[in-house]
Structure 1
Amino acid sequence: MNLKKIDFPLTVCKLDAMDKVDTKSDFFFFAKTDEELSLVCKTEDTPSQTTAREDGWRAFRIEGTLDFSLIGILSKLSTILAENKIGIFAVSTYNTDYILIKEENFAKAIAILQENGYTVK
């Protein structure tokens, strides 16, 4: 399976209002539930006013479009990383999954995944 590195730093944050999200940005994930508003975005695009913020994330995505009938792809990746004491923050789109890893563990995570048969570009 092929993984593609995302070549910019990311921030995970909470907001108190949706109007703070720059929807013209070329990369972001936004989630709204009955409990919170969450945003994952390029660190440079993070709104100045957040209620909580954590910088220092990097990411890769699973290449290609994943059919909804496929089972266990994210589970296998997260298990390999968990067995090596690397935590993740996962987000999904209609097409694929994105795995965020703290910057200090990113190179180690990539090496471990390559040792386990994944191709990382």
Structure 2
Amino acid sequence: MSTPAAEQPLSLSRYPETLAVVRLPAGAEIPTWAESSSVFSITATATETSLVCAGRSVPKKARHEKPLTAFAVDGTLDLTVPGILVRLLNPLADDDINVFVISTFDTDWILVPTAAADRAEEAWRRSGHTVAPAVPV
């Protein structure tokens, strides 16, 4: 009997760049210092603009959190399969590792404090998932 897709172990890739999450005012233009990296995301709402970018050029005066390490779920995820993020976030919550999550059409990205990245890998491995260094595209 095969394991349902919602229960199969997942494979993640760990990206080497140091990232930052930056809070900008609502409607803000993207600053010139914002550099793209393995993941570059802009999320705008009526109350704020959040930016995920390379951490190296973020000014100290900007409201931000860094350093962060990104992990991406490998492959294209089926949007109809429930519980994928829960399966990945529960082991981190159990180890008191905070996260910042970004979902794209194809996959999910989980950003953790760089100081906790190795612990995150171990938590996922204990849960049956695999983690490997990202392969440059």
What TM-score do the two structures reach when normalised by structure 2?
0.79
Equivalent in 91, 108, 117 of residue 102 of structure 2: 91
Note the C-alpha offset of 1:23: 7.8
Per-residue CA shift, 1:40-94, capped at 9, x if unaligned?
1111253x48641111111100000111101101011111110111111111111
The number of residues matched between the two structures is 120
Identical positions, percent: 32
Equivalent in 93, 108, 123 of residue 112 of structure 1: 123
CA separation in 2, counterparts of 1:22 and 1:94? Answer: 27
What TM-score do the two structures reach when normalised by structure 1?
0.88
Q: Counterpart in 1 of 2:20?
A: 11
Which letter does structure 2 place at the counterpart of 1:41?
C
Higher share in strand:
1
Give structure 1 regions of 4+ aligned residues with deviation exceeding 4 angstroms: 21-24
Runs (5+) with no aligned partner, structure 1: none
Runs (5+) with no aligned partner, structure 2: 1-9, 133-137
Within a 5 Å distance, the mapping from 1:1-121 to structure 2 comes to 1-16=10-25, 17-20=28-31, 25-26=36-37, 27-46=39-58, 48=59, 51-121=62-132
RMSD: 2.0
Note the C-alpha offset of 1:120: 0.5
Higher alpha-carbon Rg: 2
